[in-house]
Amino acid sequence: MTALSTVVVVTWRGREHIGACLDALETQKSPHRTIIVDNASDDGTAALIRGYEVLRLDRNRGYAGGLAAVLDLVRTPYVAWLNDDAEPDPTWLSELETALEDDPTAAAATSSMLLADGSTQSSGVALTADGYGKDMVLAGREVFGFCGGAALVRTSELRRAGGVPASFFCYYEDTDTSWRLRLNGSRVISVGPARVRHRHGASTRLGSALFHRWNERNRLLMLLRCAPLFVALRELGRFAVITSLLPFRKNVPQAANFRVGLRLRVLGEVLVRLPVTMVQRWRIGWRASVSRKVVWRDWGGR
């Protein structure tokens, strides 16, 4: 049978967990091509994945950068994004493929990502009232966006939407892509039977300063690229005001995203990128067939 999908696994120092991911891919009932993007791992991962089709990068470009780097090599109708610490059920890929084959208006299908205890981590992504992408535990058939840890996207639609935002490095590349797919008039669906076990946090340190820096920066960049301008400017202004008031507040949470230094760095990185981001915003709007306000009206805060 001809493969419908290319499964892309991006890894960096994944020696401790990528083996289980690749073993699970070997059991898939649907024929597919697998490409591993190795972000210049230096922990022995390269030896472990020898024998697979590997695109080895000269430096760590993050999850978003790895996905962007491999897109030109994909020749199949669908491309799957899969975390290197995820283990898909044998029917995972076939469930996603069937869902997209049966629904030509859907550009992406998101999986049921389960934690080690069997609870649901994500069945899709919602868009909060302040513009964050939020994992949904319970979801209907249609969702705002997909979770990039385990999803299937139409290759042609991904390219038409402008590909993957490589400069994000890590986090929000999936929500940004979902925004652009919706602006192009496509839908995103949740496929419950497409199950993946996820070792959440095995690849990155959740809650670390670096995590919060990427998370906050990329949310703001995503809004500036994709959202209605009043939403993007409101959230950028709110972030700046909260940052300026933190030194005068009592009982400030201990989380890294409430550290003034980190927030100032986020603001600096956003402002440095602002000229390029506004050019990207214009290009996204030029390609769009649905207005930003309509997407926000239909999905913001739901």
Percentage of the chain modeled with pLDDT above 90: 92
Average the pLDDT over 9-37 and give the result: 97
Counting residues of the chain whose pLDDT is more than 70, the rounded percentage is 98
38-65: pLDDT as tens digits: 999 999 999 999 999 999 999 999 999 9
pLDDT at 204: 59
Confidence of residue 208 (pLDDT cuts 50, 70, 90): confident
Mean pLDDT over residues 2-11, rounded?
97
The per-residue pLDDT for range 138-193, each reduced to its tens digit, is 888 999 999 999 999 999 999 999 999 999 999 999 999 999 999 999 999 999 99
Least confident window among 67-71, 174-178, 203-207, 215-219: 203-207
With 60 as the cut, is the pLDDT of residue 202 above it?
no
**pTM of the full structure:** 0.96
Label the pairing between strands 142-143 and 54-56: unpaired
Mean pLDDT: which of 25-29, 203-207, 251-255 is highest?
25-29
